[in-house]
Amino acid sequence: MRILLIDDSKTMRNIQKSVLKQLGYTDLEEACDGQDALSKIGAFKPELCLVDWNMPTMDGLTFVKTFRQTDKTTPLIMVTTEAEKSRVIEAIKAGVNNYVVKPFTPDLLSERIAETLAKCGVNT
Amino acid sequence: MDASYITPFMTSIQNVFSTMFQLPVEIGEPRLKTDSTTSHDVSGIIGVSGEMVGTIVLSMPGEAAESIVALFTGEQMAVDTDDFADAVGELINMISGNAKAEFQRKSVSISCPSVVIGSGHRVASNSGTPCVMIPCTTDCGEIVLEIALRESDEVASTKSAAA
% of chain A at pLDDT higher than 90:
90
- Calculate how close chain B gets to A117, using CA atoms only, in Å: 24
Residue B80 vs residues B37, B42, B115, B121, B137: alpha-carbon distances, Å:
20, 10, 11, 15, 24
- B97 to chain A, any CB pair closer than 8 A? The answer is yes
Q: For residue B46, how many other CB atoms are within 10 A of its CB?
A: 24
Judge: B112–A82 Cβ closer than 8 Å, yes or no: no
User: B126 in helix, strand or coil?
Assistant: coil
- Calculate how close chain B gets to A2, using CA atoms only, in Å: 24
Judge: B97–A10 Cβ closer than 8 Å, yes or no: no
Residues in chain A closer than 8 A to B76 (CB atoms): none
CATH number of A2-119: 3.40.50.2300
3-state SS record for B36-48:
CECCCCEEEEEEE
Distance CA B35, CA B4 (A): 23
Write the residue in B83, B87, B93 that is nearest to A81 by C-beta.
B93
- Strand runs labelled E in chain A: 2-6, 27-31, 48-51, 76-80, 98-101
Q: Look at the domain B3-162 and name its fold.
A: Chemotaxis protein chec (3.40.1550)
For chain B, domain boundaries: 3-162
Asked whether the beta carbons of A63 and A51 are under 8 A apart, the reply is yes
- B66 to chain A, any CB pair closer than 8 A? The answer is no
Whether complex ipTM tops 0.95: no
Asked whether the beta carbons of B140 and B17 are under 8 A apart, the reply is no
* pLDDT exceeds 70 at position B163: no
pLDDT score, position B99: 93
Write the residue in A18, A56, A81 that is nearest to B94 by C-beta.
A81
Asked whether the beta carbons of A67 and A27 are under 8 A apart, the reply is no
* pLDDT exceeds 80 at position B44: yes
Q: How far apart are the first and last CA of chain B?
A: 20
Residues in chain A closer than 8 A to B16 (CB atoms): 103
Burial class (CB in 10 A: 0-12, 13-18, 19+), B153: exposed
- A22 to chain B, any CB pair closer than 8 A? The answer is no
pLDDT tens for B53-106 read: 999 999 999 999 999 999 999 999 999 999 999 999 999 999 999 999 888 667
pLDDT tens for B110-159 read: 999 999 998 878 777 666 788 999 999 999 999 999 999 998 877 667 66
pLDDT tens for A76-112 read: 999 999 888 889 999 999 999 999 999 999 999 999 9
pLDDT tens for B18-34 read: 999 999 999 999 999 88
For chain A, domain boundaries: 2-119
Asked whether the beta carbons of B105 and B151 are under 8 A apart, the reply is no
Mean pLDDT value across chain A = 94
Q: How far apart are the first and last CA of chain A?
A: 7
Asked whether the beta carbons of A94 and A69 are under 8 A apart, the reply is no
Largest CA distance in chain A: 35
Give which of B68, B112, B114, B115 to mutate to test A binding, by max A Cβ within 10 Å: B112
Distance CA B150, CA B2 (A): 8
Query: Band of the pLDDT at A34, cuts 50, 70, 90?
Result: very high
Q: Which pTM does this prediction carry?
A: 0.91
- B67 to chain A, any CB pair closer than 8 A? The answer is no
Write the residue in A55, A82, A104 that is nearest to B97 by C-beta.
A82
* Burial call B50-84: b when 16+ CB within 10 Å, e when fewer: ebbbbbbbbbbbbebbbbbbbbbbeeebebeeeeb
* pLDDT exceeds 90 at position B160: no
Q: Which of A12, A39, A14, A25 is nearest to A103 (CA)?
A: A12
